[in-house]
Structure 1
């Protein structure tokens, strides 16, 4: 008979909040005498059984309430043709209640359960319904894999499910996503988990997993909870530590793999042959498929797979194509074909891929088919991969180089191709795969050139995912080994070493690196090498405070940059523009760097480019853009396994939360950034996280806390340690906090560094902020003139937010000088900007100053909502518009659990109990 569903621990079920809430509401209604039914439909492994387990667990009762009678059955293919086998498995535990039914119903249901026979009509379905209600208490009936239940049982249960209103019964079904279900029973479609929920599943199963391994599991599982669990449990010790590449396909002995294999085994042999062609080339167009298999044969053979939900038509710019509905099934199709069938499929595809833009794909299929001697095939594949650059599509260049290395007999050439594969894997955002490829080099005798390439890749891996100090050491060693053989590459590596020093906050080492580079210069250096020398010279001079000396080399970088179009050169030009005070140009150059990186398939470099772009945007006060760029940078950094970049973007998001006045979110994000900083030696990230916290302190009027935090994390004054760039960026906040606490001399000393830099640029935004700082330090008689000068500079700049900050300080000073009329003009402008940008705390300060200037100010938010933080207000508005917790989480880049936490606080602050009340209040 159909087997009962196995019990599973009812631990945290991530990403299914809405479904769990709905099931619990059904149970609560059944306790009150009016139950209902629902169908949970989704692909294999999406959590249908887990949700049924949750319902059964909650229905079992607790100390305060009596439990339900819980009935469970799972349909099985072996008994799908046995009439009433499903009812027998589900109702057998309560068959002793049959005498409570009318005699005709009891007799009919007994015949069905004992003999598998029943007459047509309503007697049997009515008997099933009446038996479920005859237990004397609430009942939960769970039917899993309903698609495998015998048809008579299924129809009788659907009949009962439609008639549960007013009955203390809940009837739940679990069904695969390709199953047709009645339209009059509520259906919950279970899709893939969102990234946040999938990540929490992995974190529960394998806490502390390296970020790149975690990201790889998420990519492979594609949001399927069962796939996540099976992949996590399949990890070996080397994979958990990150020393070996994580799995890229499902475990072959897992439930999901077996389920896919069973499903495929039922398809005709001709269909399996065409599916193998699709599995062998993920980019296969329908025209190419038809050419390989024959137009009528291909499309006719795919019909059974399409009807079974194995493949779907996917629209594309070059016309429709076929793809697997569940991507993990591709590996199952390929693995279950014999080697001979695979080679035949690759040979067919190689024969029909003849265009120039298909060169790499053709070489890949020829190599897979072993269509000739191994050496020439390897040479053809490596040449095609080199010509393809970093283009997307199949095969990825790193995989092509890896396969070429496997076919290569000569040790030096094999090693060079493995190194090329590792470099391409790194650029593709696959650090685990890169490390695995580098490990294979250890067993080979390699040349100095290949060893240098490998060490450079290891340095990059350490720079983005390890300790910045170790990365700096690796780069310095590589640069020294390259100095006599490849000066251009050596200087490029020195710039990487400088970046490691910058991230670590080691200004002394950065200056030493610049001096080493300067000693390598030659008058006849080509333009590309000159640019790198000028970049190091200009940034080092800036970090020494020699801004006038820095100007010439930085301008030279901008002159030479148009000669190159690589993301690195565009970023260097962007940094040069920022240091010269041209933030608009810096943002434009960084934007081009992002576009170039994407076009080249180097998505893993985008988070670093966005970090530099954000630094330019800080001065223009574009906080909405900063948030968007930091969210994208964080997402890509996590997907590509780059925790050091993730820490930076968490810090920027903490800063924008502080600007908005959302202290809770600021604290959470800053703590995450600071934790990553401590683990990876990121002085820049630690300083950024603390700057965000100090900004929140300043906005809330905790001036002593803000000054203390900034003083400790970015020490002030010449000759002290600390992160210089973050020190300069945070100087305006430190000056204001120090003045408020009476430390005016310390504020003056801190301002000198920013003053010299801003004075060397023509940036009105920087000059305006510096002039405002001088106004704060000026005697009362001189302050007004300086504030007016600052506002005039603001009018020439781009930062509305900093303009409003100056207006708030100026208005406050005017009010204290007993000029309330003049103060109100500036305070009103500041308040308007703060409200428009969502800077809640600063808006509160402006309102308080206006009240002090004799004007009553009312909030523009509905009654009581002014108690909410900015993020709570955003969540309240979105929820009031009808969004679910998951939809809110996706919009605001939060987890559904965090949204739920915020909603509880929102309800408490507003003294309401339901979403209905929230809608009424917000409207």
Structure 2
């Protein structure tokens, strides 16, 4: 049995590992070299040295040394640690070199000239003559300068020796030595590392919160995960906000800060307490000293850097250490200084008022003092007034933190509950669901007015709607509506609409209609515009679900008209849905984009992934599948980061649809199966129906119409009325091709009733195409031409190509090959442009059957790549491995390999090197 330790697995360091392997391979062949790994503490430099040593365990002699602070002032202590195992080989050196080397190692005596550097190079060469050498130097910045100079000399001269020299340092470089700087891990690597550290236990929103501190630093992430409490893992307590006190990284950062002068540390504490502090204010704070001079040691140490008119920490985690490692009295004094510095009323802004109130509240020595309630009220007013971005000035606390602090300073029970509830709502808006749940948990022991309880239920229900079961979310939201309709009417109506949305997501049309009827009975003639819009939305949707499309058109049209007077993105989204049901896809896309932009402007991070759901619908109807892929991928990432599992399921299902269009069978199945599994667990009829539709589209594209029809016919998997109607053209096509004309005709009648209430040429084209597929002999030709005429008035190029493919196939079977080829060539060109591989194959097969030999063409530029292929080509050209590409794009590795083969073929390149040249 081998005693060689296994090679460790490092997440997200594929490029670095390849560089190390190249260095070792070159040394093995006699062409050695050196590499300097630079990066902040915890970035994995030591782990990479361990990885290199593991790879070199067979065949190499491995020498290692680590720089340590106590020996940094002992000349040649570093050389002594590195070379002592092979010091006996010094006897083979020329006398002067051998003497210089032994004097340096035994007494630290400096030798003049080249004798010592040449001796070290000669020693390594002599050892390497018997066995290649890997010399690893960790924490090279802590080596004594004399050793560092000698090693730099050797590093520049080992290119003709079987020697690999690998050094790791924080930031400083060695002149003439190649450097590879280690940045933070990317999202995919962070997920992998978290799975290694806590398999299956880290929710996406918790991981996102941890990585806001770690910023891709592997050690930081490992320490944060290792320090999590059970309630934090379960999402019931707020996540940590700083590195664990006493951890390796905390101690490292604290030691670096402690080595700085007192004036420097005082200013660093101010910057840590208020990131928005500008240089002019810092200069005032430092008087009579000069702030710029006082901060120079921190800049030289790589702790701080100037960012425009402000200073910022290189590593954001150091900010927490600089603040929390200071004694409480010093922190309060810093807040008092900052509050005084922000007193300038001539430069007053909402953000500045919030910062000043925050510092006053944090500076309190006696939280029970007479000024406490006044300060709490000031904090609440400033927090509710602040709107990100305000004056472009960072640094103020997020509103939920200010509101939480105000609640801590409030003794009166109802007022305290009010402020905690408001803090929880703002935490949710900011995309901090764990914090929101933790704040809500603190409300259980407090006495709260009925309207506050209603708002708490609304937030509970909203959290459940996007993370838990839709049934329980609906009941919570209905209870919230009952409490709020009398005290906060608009919020009460919103709770009703969200309860209806829970029914919509579950595919429960009866529950939706019941809620709409309840709302209609509550409606008043003097409703505000947002409430009017929501009432009209419920009425229009209920009529739609009842099959009364003509009756639905009136309220849906009023919803769209009211959208111009509404700014709230959560209300605007219903106007987007109304536009879709009216067949006005461009309007729906414009409204959804407006809602997304409004949410981002307001800093409403939690709303964005939901709003992106509604941007996907018009993109699907318009056949913009590349845009769907981009939108859904962003929505999936944001939904995972904010703990919205139900929203994530829907975006994942849409990504399955884009894979189906591209003919990527494996990726489509993986995504669709995952979405369906999540849908089953959370009563998400809509996500399950989209996933099923995606699989049916894949079946249809692959020439399996019977399978497609069976999927779309299954009630359990396709029970969401909106998605069922959207999928009807595919169901009719599949049924017609399998001879099930009766079911196809029944589905067509349902589609005709809805499309007849719209003016969309794209939708009417689909109806005409479906009629053509079911037409009697001799009647199809005119219906296909009608469909193509309508497509010409619309915008969906992809469905136009599908119609041409079906028409061309019908013409070929009708023995009119010349007419067929015209349509088939047009379809082929569109499918190739969209990267729809399976549809492209169908078009080519039909063309060959029509007597037209189709030749493959090889495009000369990247413009001929599909959107997915172009994304992959760019990532590969930037150095990503197949595995890294697969993780970032939610694809399988085999799919990435398939795409790369096609990319190489289309671009006429044979290697990654050629691809890099072409892409650059």
TM bucket (normalised to shorter chain) is: over 0.9
Counterparts of 1:343-354 in structure 2, within 5 Å, are 343-353=332-342, 354=345
Could you report, residue by residue, the CA deviation over 1:311-343 in whole angstroms, capped at 9, with x for unpaired residues?
11113xxxx211111111111111122222222
In the TM superposition, what is the alpha-carbon distance from 1:296 to its structure 2 partner?
Answer: 5.8
Conserved 8 A contact 2:214-2:220: yes
2:316 pairs with one of 290, 310, 327: 327
C-alpha RMSD over aligned residues: 2.7
2:749 pairs with one of 745, 749, 752: 752
In the TM superposition, what is the alpha-carbon distance from 1:108 to its structure 2 partner?
Answer: 2.6
In the TM superposition, what is the alpha-carbon distance from 1:389 to its structure 2 partner?
Answer: 4.8
Partners in 2 of 1:169 and 1:903 — Cα distance? 35
Counterparts of 1:771-920 in structure 2, within 5 Å, are 771-861=768-858, 873-874=869-870, 877-878=873-874, 882-885=877-880, 893-894=888-889, 902-903=896-897, 906=900, 915-916=912-913
Conserved 8 A contact 1:714-1:723: no
Partners in 1 of 2:229 and 2:916 — Cα distance? 50
Conserved 8 A contact 1:292-1:348: yes
Assess, with a 3 A threshold, how the Cα gap between structure 1 residues 711 and 93 changes in structure 2: closer, same or farther. Answer: farther
Could you report, residue by residue, the CA deviation over 1:392-450 in whole angstroms, capped at 9, with x for unpaired residues?
74211101100000111111101110000000000000000001111111222222222
Conserved 8 A contact 1:68-1:137: yes
Task: Give the equivalent residue in structure 1 for 2:271.
Answer: 278
Conserved 8 A contact 2:873-2:903: no
Partners in 2 of 1:118 and 1:397 — Cα distance? 61
Q: Are residue 290 (structure 1) and residue 259 (structure 2) matched?
A: no
Partners in 1 of 2:735 and 2:289 — Cα distance? 80
Partners in 1 of 2:681 and 2:227 — Cα distance? 27
Task: Give the equivalent residue in structure 2 for 1:380.
Answer: 378
Partners in 2 of 1:875 and 1:643 — Cα distance? 26
Assess, with a 3 A threshold, how the Cα gap between structure 1 residues 904 and 790 changes in structure 2: closer, same or farther. Answer: closer
Task: Give the equivalent residue in structure 2 for 1:359.
Answer: 353
Task: Give the equivalent residue in structure 2 for 1:199.
Answer: 191
Task: Give the equivalent residue in structure 1 for 2:76.
Answer: 84
Secondary structure class of the residue paired with 1:141 = strand
Task: Give the equivalent residue in structure 2 for 1:559.
Answer: 561
Conserved 8 A contact 1:875-1:888: no
Assess, with a 3 A threshold, how the Cα gap between structure 1 residues 520 and 571 changes in structure 2: closer, same or farther. Answer: same
Unaligned stretches of 5+ residues in structure 2: none
Range with bigger deviation, 292-301 or 204-213? 292-301
In the TM superposition, what is the alpha-carbon distance from 1:901 to its structure 2 partner?
Answer: 7.5
Scaled by the length of structure 1, what TM-score is found? 0.92
Scaled by the length of structure 2, what TM-score is found? 0.93
Secondary structure class of the residue paired with 2:164 = strand
Task: Give the equivalent residue in structure 2 for 1:232.
Answer: 225
1:94 pairs with one of 61, 83, 86: 86
Conserved 8 A contact 1:808-1:826: yes
Task: Give the equivalent residue in structure 2 for 1:541.
Answer: 543
Conserved 8 A contact 1:334-1:342: yes
Secondary structure class of the residue paired with 2:196 = helix
Secondary structure class of the residue paired with 1:323 = strand
Task: Give the equivalent residue in structure 2 for 1:621.
Answer: 623
Secondary structure class of the residue paired with 1:654 = helix
Secondary structure class of the residue paired with 2:500 = helix
In the TM superposition, what is the alpha-carbon distance from 1:524 to its structure 2 partner?
Answer: 4.2
Partners in 2 of 1:696 and 1:534 — Cα distance? 37
Q: Are residue 123 (structure 1) and residue 151 (structure 2) matched?
A: no
Conserved 8 A contact 1:425-1:431: yes
Could you report, residue by residue, the CA deviation over 1:695-715 in whole angstroms, capped at 9, with x for unpaired residues?
122112122222222222666
Conserved 8 A contact 1:907-1:913: no
Partners in 1 of 2:903 and 2:565 — Cα distance? 59
In the TM superposition, what is the alpha-carbon distance from 1:254 to its structure 2 partner?
Answer: 1.0
Could you report, residue by residue, the CA deviation over 1:433-482 in whole angstroms, capped at 9, with x for unpaired residues?
00111111122222222222212111111111222222112112222333
Counterparts of 1:485-564 in structure 2, within 5 Å, are 485-564=487-566
Conserved 8 A contact 1:879-1:915: no
Assess, with a 3 A threshold, how the Cα gap between structure 1 residues 699 and 900 changes in structure 2: closer, same or farther. Answer: closer
Secondary structure class of the residue paired with 2:411 = coil
Conserved 8 A contact 1:215-1:641: no
Partners in 1 of 2:363 and 2:918 — Cα distance? 67
Task: Give the equivalent residue in structure 1 for 2:41.
Answer: 44
Partners in 1 of 2:600 and 2:912 — Cα distance? 42
Partners in 1 of 2:915 and 2:384 — Cα distance? 59
Q: Are residue 247 (structure 1) and residue 240 (structure 2) matched?
A: yes
In the TM superposition, what is the alpha-carbon distance from 1:744 to its structure 2 partner?
Answer: 1.9
Partners in 2 of 1:674 and 1:847 — Cα distance? 33
Unaligned stretches of 5+ residues in structure 1: 1-6, 62-66, 717-721
Conserved 8 A contact 2:187-2:888: no
Partners in 2 of 1:211 and 1:242 — Cα distance? 10
Secondary structure class of the residue paired with 1:376 = helix
Partners in 2 of 1:921 and 1:288 — Cα distance? 50
Task: Give the equivalent residue in structure 1 for 2:737.
Answer: 740
Task: Give the equivalent residue in structure 2 for 1:3.
Answer: none
1:730 pairs with one of 709, 727, 730: 727
Partners in 2 of 1:566 and 1:9 — Cα distance? 56
Could you report, residue by residue, the CA deviation over 1:637-684 in whole angstroms, capped at 9, with x for unpaired residues?
122221221221111122112112222332332233233323322221
In the TM superposition, what is the alpha-carbon distance from 1:917 to its structure 2 partner?
Answer: 7.4
Conserved 8 A contact 1:147-1:176: yes
Task: Give the equivalent residue in structure 2 for 1:309.
Answer: 302
Counterparts of 1:362-761 in structure 2, within 5 Å, are 362-370=356-364, 373-389=371-387, 393=394, 394-712=396-714, 722-761=719-758
Assess, with a 3 A threshold, how the Cα gap between structure 1 residues 906 and 615 changes in structure 2: closer, same or farther. Answer: closer
Partners in 2 of 1:443 and 1:879 — Cα distance? 52
Task: Give the equivalent residue in structure 2 for 1:64.
Answer: none
In the TM superposition, what is the alpha-carbon distance from 1:48 to its structure 2 partner?
Answer: 0.7
Secondary structure class of the residue paired with 1:117 = coil
Task: Give the equivalent residue in structure 1 for 2:54.
Answer: 57
Partners in 1 of 2:818 and 2:199 — Cα distance? 60
